[in-house]
Amino acid sequence: MTDRYTIFGNPVAHSMSPVLHPYFAKVLGEDLEYGRTLVEPGAFAATAAAFFASGGCGANVTVPCKVDACNFCQELTPYAKEAGAVNTMKALGDGQVLGDNTDGRGFIEDLHRLGAPLQGARVLVMGAGGAARGILGLLAREGVSHLALTNRSAERAVELARTVSGVEVVPDGKASGHYDLIVNATSSSLLGILPNLSDQVLGDCAFAYDLMYSKDGNTTFTRHAEDLGVGQVADGYGMLILQAVLGFELWRGKRPDTADALRHFRPDAG
Ligand code: NDP
């Protein structure tokens, strides 16, 4: 029987995972099927249990199911534990399921790929939702000299900053001074608006990264940063590819070629 994988979420129609993983499988000569599983509200545990009981080998998890997936898995990697969220599940046999979180590592590997400033850098992260939670701890371990966090809802920033030592919480709209790297981990670009950050601060940074991605690599945030003269900008497409690369490696023990995947899916980004 062909090994079966799926993505759990609601909605799932937009997800790139059912396109990325079959491509990796084809290139690496792995035989697998990859589907989409729409999870009705409140039905994550039952839906996931049915999938794995029927022989499913692994799954990706997207909004709004990542925390439910974390609660569902019997075993968690340190990355999933730290993030409190699971984006990749793997059947271990005996009914046990391992939960991992590859979002944060995908983000960090993308920053390395792009040559973004990290060692000794001053870094500002905007946002305190699921994505920010997945990247903050990993960023703190990249040798940055200063890590600041800001969010529209101050209490969420304070709560998240408590989980990672040495993070400065900056009130919304009050970031000042120089940052080498500014990361937009809010969903503002999804709405076509900008997070609350002065043009002076954004325009002064060396690298602006938006976790949101788009077909052509431009987002509201990266476009604005470019208009302000920021030297290097990137959207989250590389992060998307890399979190999938890491998930595929967990499932199949073979690592897809990131540069090849970037060239294949977005020729201008490789
Ligand atoms: P969440 O819904 O968990 O969090 C949303 C965050 O955005 C919160 O900090 C929220 O602030 C903030 N926000 C929402 N609307 C606004 C606004 N109008 N102005 C300012 N801040 C706002 O979303 P996620 O953390 O899951 O996702 C955040 C972004 O990251 C999305 O764009 C998503 O597409 C992207 N992403 C990309 C991935 C990739 O692989 N490239 C992977 C995962 C996410 P508040 O707390 O005040 O509500």
- HEC profile of 67-81: HHHHHHCCEECHHHH
Other Cβ atoms less than 10 A from the Cβ of 26: the count is: 11
**Would the pLDDT of 171 be above 50?**
yes
Amino acid 147: pLDDT: 98
pLDDT > 70: percent of the chain: 99
Report the interhelical angle of 130-140 vs 154-161 (nearest 10°). 40
Q: Could you give the residue ranges of the DSSP H alpha helices within the chain? A: 17-28, 44-53, 66-72, 78-83, 103-114, 130-140, 154-161, 199-204, 220-227, 237-252, 258-265
For 115-240, strand residue ranges (E) read 122-126, 146-150, 167-170, 181-184, 207-210, 232-234
Mean pLDDT of the chain: 96
Would the pTM count as exceeding 0.75? yes
- Structure tokens belonging to residue 56: 């499913």
* Rounded-to-integer distance, Cα 135 and Cα 125, Å: 9
Amino acid 268: pLDDT: 66
Ligand 1 center from residue 106 Cα (angstroms): 17
Amino acid 139: pLDDT: 97
Q: Quick one: which atom of ligand 1 is closest to the CA of 195? A: 20
Other Cβ atoms less than 10 A from the Cβ of 200: the count is: 11
Cβ of 84 below 6 Å from ligand 1: no
Residue with the smallest CA separation from ligand 1 atom 29 is: 187
Task: Please state the rounded mean pLDDT for residues 79-106.
Answer: 95
**Would the pLDDT of 269 be above 60?**
no
Cβ of 152 below 6 Å from ligand 1: yes
Amino acid 270: pLDDT: 41
Residue of 63, 103, 105, 186 to mutate, ligand 1, most atoms within 8 A of C-beta: 186
Cβ of 214 below 6 Å from ligand 1: no
Task: Please state the rounded mean pLDDT for residues 128-155.
Answer: 95
Say if residues 106 and 245 touch (Cβ distance below 8 Å). yes
Task: Please state the rounded mean pLDDT for residues 45-70.
Answer: 97
The string of pLDDT tens digits covering residues 222-262 is: 999 999 999 999 999 999 999 999 999 999 999 999 999 99
Cβ of 60 below 6 Å from ligand 1: no
